[in-house]
Amino acid sequence: MLTENKFSKYLLYAIGEIVLVVIGILIALSINNWNEKQKLKKIEIKILKEMKLAINDDIERLNYNIKTYNSVKRAIEIIIEQLPLETPTSDSLQYAFQQSLFNNKVLPNTGAYETLKAKGIDLISNDSLRIQIIDVYEKKYKYFQDSAQNLFLSESFIQEYCATLFNNLDYFSNENTMVPNNYVALQKDTLYNTIINTRLSQVTFSLMSLTWDIEIVQQLDKTIMTEIKRLEE
């Protein structure tokens, strides 16, 4: 009887020890998992902050492009209004010739997004934000860049043809003008008129796309800011 009691006590003690060991292991695993989640959260916050900085840079450049293309559009409208008139060319018209050919490409800052892809897009814990980020960088940005490059007349064609019509093509300067080699001939040049009208369509499309693009990027910026605040709580 005494032997049975001793065995029962030993068995209970052994079971208790095993339970304590198991609990200790579970606690250690839980702490390890918590630490790992905290590390991943810190990395996620860091990438989101870098992405927000990149997006703010994109917004600034998109706004600059909108301002630039509005100036280009106005220059083209001046040409369309004044070129048919039976009046001599003017400084304002020569300045409009120069401004009308200006192009500015949108090159988004994708550094933070590329870092995220390298670490794994699933690092973004918020499903809807992750989908939104992919949609902006993989679809919206690429759509605008591709459509801007592939629609209408090519920039090289316009430059090559206009080089035969004007004394220079220095349209990167805000001070220079482009003087027609033969103003009367330019007024009657049907191809140049086609180019100018096509440029107006192209610039109008670019402005519409830029406005649409900036609204999408601003929305992503707000969503990222909200997520950063949530993660840092």
Q: Look up the pTM and report it.
A: 0.77
Q: Is the dihedral of CA 75, 173, 143, 146 positive or negative?
A: positive
Q: Each residue of 69-108: pLDDT tens digit?
A: 999 999 999 999 999 988 888 888 998 998 898 877 777 8
- Decide: 188 and 116 in contact? Cβ < 8 Å: no
Q: Each residue of 11-46: pLDDT tens digit?
A: 666 676 677 677 767 776 677 676 677 788 889 999
Token pair in block for residue 30 = 């839980």
- pLDDT for 8 equals 63
Confidence of residue 228 (pLDDT cuts 50, 70, 90): very high
Other C-beta atoms lying within 10 Å of the C-beta of residue 212:
13
Dihedral pair phi/psi, residue 100, rounded to 5°: -65, -20
- Decide: 100 and 184 in contact? Cβ < 8 Å: no
Dihedral pair phi/psi, residue 143, rounded to 5°: -60, -45
Q: Each residue of 99-114: pLDDT tens digit?
A: 898 877 777 888 899 9
